[in-house]
Chain A
Amino acid sequence: MSHPKLRLEFLLFLGWVFVALGLRQPGLLALALPLGWHLLLATALARPRPDQELEATRRVHPGRAQEGETVAVTVEVRNKGPRTLEVFLQDEVPPGLEVLEGRTAGTFVVGPGAAAVLSYRVRAARGVHRFARVGVEVREPLGLAPSRAELPCPGQALVLPRVERGLALEPGARRALPVPGTARSRRGGLGVEFLGVRELRPGDLPRKLAWKAMARWDAPMVVEFVEERATEVALILDTRRRVYRHRPELFEHAVRAAATLAHHFLRQGHRVGLLQYGTILDWVFPGYGRRHAERILRELARAQLGDSEVFAELAHLPTRLFPAGSLLVVLSPLALGDEEALGRLAARGYRVWAIVPEGGAPAGGRGREAEWARRIVDLERTVLLRRVQRSRATVVVWPVDRPLAAVLRRARRALCR
């Protein structure tokens, strides 16, 4: 008697019978019969637990996709009971998924052992999209008291941020790791860039002999090349909501830039870590290789904006996480006050790059006051970026309507100095 309608009808029937008996009116008692008959049939034919007769399974393909790709979702609800059921299925589509084709709800007549299938394709935004359950409404033959339930059928679509290919960039290292890479280490060794000539030492290869220098100095000389080694890179993704207050869409661009740089540096053999700074300190310990790249991409897929009193300022960056001399890449639109924190990092011996995504629609409002406000904001921004540049951090302003690779290519000289 879980359905409210049946409960009300049951109470009414009882009340009716007692009133009829109390008033000694057989007419009223006869009037209770249609009510009782209706109640009897509805209760007899109601299915109290539709979830016991139905079983739902879900397939999400592919379970791991990139931003903008389509994902196919199939929900199958099988009737395990002995009776034919008329069911209505309504799948819960998590927010952030746009249904492109197919249907997420439908009415089916499902025989014993048969299955009802909902199938649709979605385009997913970056993130981890978890499907939990499918809503089921089972209608009994009289259609008087449908039973509703939610069948658990979990599924997950992991949508990774888009990675831009074709980046040409080598991090200048202040601290090199004892592993080959692409960072010039300012010492002689294996490499392709000319460093200088020196006298021959035991163990030098004869093919390194510098014949012209030998003729000039009248001593055996060899050519030295700049040794290329791996270095330590820490990507710092700013997730403070207040920084993106006017243009929250820039956050997606910052995440994409972080994914692109992580992918690029890891391919070059560097040791890359990721710190999300904002709501919490989410730190992916530095590592190498493809599995580590996947780990960073998965973390970036989950990245969200947030607020925290503790991490409101960039000054609370935990520098003990980053080894001295490593390259810190800060991905943030920056806010006033951040220039001091970046300056302090540079003064501690870190190499600091600030990649500042800019663009999108300007702040709303029309009229002279709005125009003045926009000009004041632009001026503040210019002052901020100049201060950051003066603090020995390298600033790359990235207009997000242009590819990151093209912007970094133009800024290559400043970045690799």
Chain B
Amino acid sequence: MPLVPLLFAAAAVLLAWSARGFPLDPRWAPALLPLGLWGAAALRRTRLWVHLGFLGLAALAGLLALAGPLEAGLGVMGLALMAWDSADLLGWQGEGRALRRAMGRGCLRSALVAGAGCALGLAAARWRLRLPFWGLLGVVFLAWLALWAWTHALQERGGEARGNRSESGPMK
């Protein structure tokens, strides 16, 4: 099970390489870096390496979208999201069969969400919309504002008092 995110990462790197026709150019060597980061994450099992691995794959997807077919970039991003989610699923605790079932369900849901996101990206890329630059910037700003307000509305309120409490009993 700990190798699942690594397999997704390897699939993403392979997809990126295949999208460019398996070039043997040494400039493609840094594309292996995300794979190394995910390998470190599998060995060390720390959240930092997982996040770095995801950022590496996201950067690879971005480069691919700039240099090559957008579809491949979207595929790499989808696989990166799946690897990230599966690494999170590995952190779940539970007992034997119930845990495996829950993780299987989580993986399936993650794949569906990532697939839907990629389809959305693909559809958006095909959709032609004429919008001036500042209009686009305004739309993005409004979207960001709405997202910020929404996440703040969801954020937890209140809190619990913490700190030392006096205890009954003899003083030490």
What are 8 inter-chain pairs, A to B, with CB distance below 8 A?
A31-B77, A31-B121, A35-B58, A43-B151, A43-B154, A143-B89, A280-B171, A280-B172
Q: Which of A24-58 contact B (CB under 8 A)?
A: 24-38, 41, 43, 46, 48-49
When the two chains form the complex, which single residue of A21, A90, A306 contacts B136, counting CB atoms closer than 8 Å?
Answer: A21
Query: Could you tell me which B residues sit within 8 Å of A by CB distance?
Result: 47, 51, 55, 58, 61-62, 65-66, 70, 73-74, 77-78, 81, 84-85, 88-89, 92-95, 98-99, 102-103, 105-107, 109-110, 113-114, 116-118, 120-122, 124-125, 133, 136-137, 140, 144, 147, 150-151, 154-156, 170-172
Residue among A21, A31, A137, A144 with the most chain B CB within 10 A?
A: A31
Residues on A with beta carbons closer than 8 Å to the beta carbon of B120: 33-34, 37
Instruction: Answer yes or no: A319 CB below 8 A from chain B CBs.
Output: no
Residues on B with beta carbons closer than 8 Å to the beta carbon of A48: 154-156
> How many interface residues does chain A have, given as a range?
35 or more
Please name 10 further chain A to chain B contacts, defined as beta carbons within 8 Å, in addition to the given A35-B77, A106-B94, sorted by A numbering. A4-B47, A16-B62, A17-B144, A25-B65, A88-B93, A105-B94, A141-B109, A143-B85, A144-B88, A144-B109
Q: Is the interface of B mostly helix, strand, loop or mixed?
A: helix
Closest B residue to A144 by CB, please name it: B85
Instruction: Answer yes or no: A336 CB below 8 A from chain B CBs.
Output: no
Residues on B with beta carbons closer than 8 Å to the beta carbon of A16: 58, 62
Q: CB distance B113 to A144 under 8 Å? A: yes
Q: CB distance B55 to A12 under 8 Å? A: yes
Residues on A with beta carbons closer than 8 Å to the beta carbon of B58: 12, 16, 35
Residues on B with beta carbons closer than 8 Å to the beta carbon of A90: 93
User: A38-B81, A41-B113, A141-B109 given as contacts; is B92 within 8 A of A28 (CB)?
Assistant: no
Q: CB distance B62 to A137 under 8 Å? A: no
Q: CB distance A143 to B94 under 8 Å? A: no
In the complex, what distance in Å separates the CA atom of A25 from the CA atom of B70? 11
Q: CB distance A142 to B117 under 8 Å? A: no
Q: CB distance A34 to B95 under 8 Å? A: no
Q: Min CB distance, B137 to chain A, in Å?
A: 6
Instruction: Answer yes or no: A156 CB below 8 A from chain B CBs.
Output: no
Q: CB distance B88 to A34 under 8 Å? A: no
User: A105-B95, A139-B92, A146-B92 given as contacts; is B66 within 8 A of A27 (CB)?
Assistant: yes
Residues on B with beta carbons closer than 8 Å to the beta carbon of A131: none
Closest B residue to A147 by CB, please name it: B156
Residues on B with beta carbons closer than 8 Å to the beta carbon of A279: 172
